[in-house]
Amino acid sequence: MNSPLAPYLPMAVALLVSGVLALVMPGLASLLGPRRPSAIKSMAFEAGSETTGPARQRFAVKFYVIALLFIIFDVEAVFLYPWAVNFQALGWFGYWEMVVFAATLVVGLIYIWKKGALDWES
């Protein structure tokens, strides 16, 4: 059988097996796993101390802004690594292209610094 989809058969089998396992294993764990509930196990637990305050408190937007900034500059590092590996092959064009890329990010960093996004106490 020379179907054009024949090379994808191993991937289809792997996806089928992983899908079946994803459904079967939690089901078996809930059926066969030990159940010994106790008052201590039912208590709320957070880092070894009693919880304080409501569970649905609001977080400042600053937490999310810092997380997004971290992701942006982390992605910069992801782009710098392949560039550094191929630095000699890219030549001067690749160098100046990375200078423009890094300059764009530096301008963004200066902008958020001036706006006060990196001041934690404000």
**pLDDT value of position 27:** 93
**Please, are residues 68 and 74 in contact by the beta-carbon 8 Å criterion?**
no
**pLDDT value of position 76:** 82
Q: What is the pTM of this model?
A: 0.46
**Could you state, in order of their start, the residue ranges of all structural domains in the chain?**
7-50+57-115
* CATH class of the region 7-50+57-115: mainly alpha
Render pLDDT for 3-16 as a digit per residue (tens, 0 to 9).
888 889 999 999 99
Range 67-74 average pLDDT: 84
Render pLDDT for 28-66 as a digit per residue (tens, 0 to 9).
998 998 888 888 777 776 676 766 777 777 777 777 888
Render pLDDT for 75-116 as a digit per residue (tens, 0 to 9).
888 888 888 898 899 899 999 998 998 899 889 889 888 888
**pLDDT value of position 1:** 62
Range 10-30 average pLDDT: 95
